[in-house]
Amino acid sequence: MDHITLSVIKADVGGFVGHSSVHDELIEEAEDRLEAAVKEDIIVDFHVTACGDDLQLIMTHRKGVDHPDIHRLAWETFEACTEVAERLKLYGAGQDLLADAFSGNVKGMGPGVAEMEFTERPSEPVLIFMADKTSAGAWNLPLYRMFADPFNTAGLVISPAMHEGFRFEVHDVKESKRVFFDTPEELYDLLVFIGAPGRYAVKAVYTKKGEIAAVSSTQRLSLIAGRYVGKDDPVCIVRSQGEFPAVGEVLEPFTMPHIVEGWMRGSHYGPLMPVPLYHATPSRFDGPPRVVSLGFQIAGGRLVGPRDMFDDPGFDEARRLCNVIADHFRRHGPFEPHRLPMEEMEYTTLPQVMEKLSGRWEAIP
Ligand code: F6R
Ligand code: MG
Ligand code: MG
């Protein structure tokens, strides 16, 4: 009975106001649906929340990852919330539901998914990270810091439970291939790939004994749709303490606001700002990109919590630095490196403008 699956499935099904947050009525609708699913024994427990314009369904159950019952529940919940969004004329209602009908698994249909199955330890602290206005791959740097950087994670050096290091599963999101790297042995090989987060994303991290430590959503909306339909706004689950990094080691990477792609129209680089839930409402230039972290203790599948982990003055300097960096990037206006490089703009609104002007280009005499 202590074997549990933790699923985080998210979608943007309508923003309030614009793309800046989720309306309470969507949260209530999702809670009603998931409450009914608890009564029907489909899930054990749930917590509904939002980061920016993304509705987040955090669920525990006993069905394992990729289970059609769970994915159907999430899909139907998003559909029901889309109806609410349509009634309130919220912005971009149903934005991330890219398919007309559910077909067994929400992956490839728009929503982002991070799921892990494990046997509950005597005490099971987990941290769930949710980001808005950025893409899959945004977790590469923080996951590297948590699980492979001794300057971040003291336990890699001084805890016998972590000293042997971790194993990273990296996905090539364009070619649908994966590769595993052992750290610290293959650190430099790992960094060759995950330093390019637009293409290579850390999907999961394991202990050397094969125990799941972290998992992220790697769905890239633009690759699914073939055009820009909103940013991926990824999620990530990290187990903590004991053989895993301590809570503080898991959170520490976010004191360095790293630069991610996303922000306005999904077409700009900017710093990822760690915020409490009540500040997960990106409005300045539709940003800057946000990340929230909710902590839970899992007890027999029950989600005890959440604690709003970035609601801590310890992150004030990171937020201040984000604003300084954001100001500087904004001063670049439509110039790179604030605007994404040309190749990355392939899936944004730029192709239409290029198309319109294609006939006006002439050879230089
Ligand atoms: C970025 C985002 C927003 C929108 C922008 C334009 O992920 O959601 O920055 O891209 O507000 O939105 P539309 O094209 O819907 O008017
Ligand atoms: Mg939106
Ligand atoms: Mg969003």
Nearest-10 Cα torsion for 245, 211, 161, 191: -60
Long-range (24+ apart) CB contacts under 8 A made by 99-108 are 102/71, 102/72, 102/75, 102/76, 104/68, 104/71, 105/66, 105/68, 105/71, 106/9, 106/71, 106/74, 106/75, 107/66, 107/71, 107/219, 108/219, 108/224
CA of 21 to the centre of ligand 1 (A): 12
* DSSP annotation of 119: E
What average pLDDT is seen over the chain?
96
Token pair recorded at residue 324: 């300084």
Of 216-220, 332-336, 339-343, the range with the highest mean pLDDT is 332-336
pTM for the whole structure: 0.97
Q: Is 129 in the same domain as 76?
A: no
Q: Which of 10, 16, 17, 19 to mutate to test the pocket of ligand 1 (most atoms within 8 A of CB)?
A: 19
Is the CB of 92 within 6 Å of ligand 1? yes
Q: What is the largest CA-CA distance in the chain?
A: 76
Q: Which of 286, 330, 352 to mutate to test the pocket of ligand 1 (most atoms within 8 A of CB)?
A: 286
The protein residue whose alpha carbon is closest to atom 15 in ligand 1 is 92
Is the CB of 264 within 6 Å of ligand 1? yes
Question: Helix, strand or coil for residue 1?
Answer: coil
Q: Give the residue with greater pLDDT, 134 vs 103.
A: 134
Q: How many domains does the chain have?
A: 2
Taken in order 81, 87, 91, 94, is the CA torsion positive or negative? positive
Is the CB of 15 within 6 Å of ligand 1? no
| Domain extent at residue 111 | 1-115
- Check residue 35 and give its pLDDT: 98
Instruction: State the catalytic residues.
Output: 12, 228, 231
Q: Which atom of ligand 1 is nearest to the CA of 267?
A: 1
Q: How confident is the model at residue 1 (pLDDT cuts 50, 70, 90)?
A: low
For 42-65, the pLDDT digits (tens) are: 999 999 999 999 999 999 999 999
Q: How confident is the model at residue 229 (pLDDT cuts 50, 70, 90)?
A: confident
Q: How confident is the model at residue 146 (pLDDT cuts 50, 70, 90)?
A: very high
Q: Is 97 in the same domain as 146?
A: no
Of 98, 86, 59, the C-alpha closest to 227 is: 98
User: Is 291 within 8 Å of 273 (Cβ atoms)?
Assistant: yes
Is the CB of 145 within 6 Å of ligand 1? no
Of 58, 48, 11, 27, the C-alpha closest to 301 is: 58
* DSSP annotation of 158: H
Q: Is 301 in the same domain as 340?
A: yes
**Which of 115, 147, 165 is the C-terminal boundary of a domain?**
115
**Which of 91, 115, 139 is the C-terminal boundary of a domain?**
115
For 68-95, the pLDDT digits (tens) are: 999 999 999 999 999 999 999 999 999 9
Q: How confident is the model at residue 222 (pLDDT cuts 50, 70, 90)?
A: confident
Judged against a pLDDT cut of 80, whether residue 348 lies above it is answered with: no
The alpha carbon of 361 is separated from its chain's Cα centroid by a whole number of angstroms, namely 40
Q: Is 202 in the same domain as 319?
A: yes
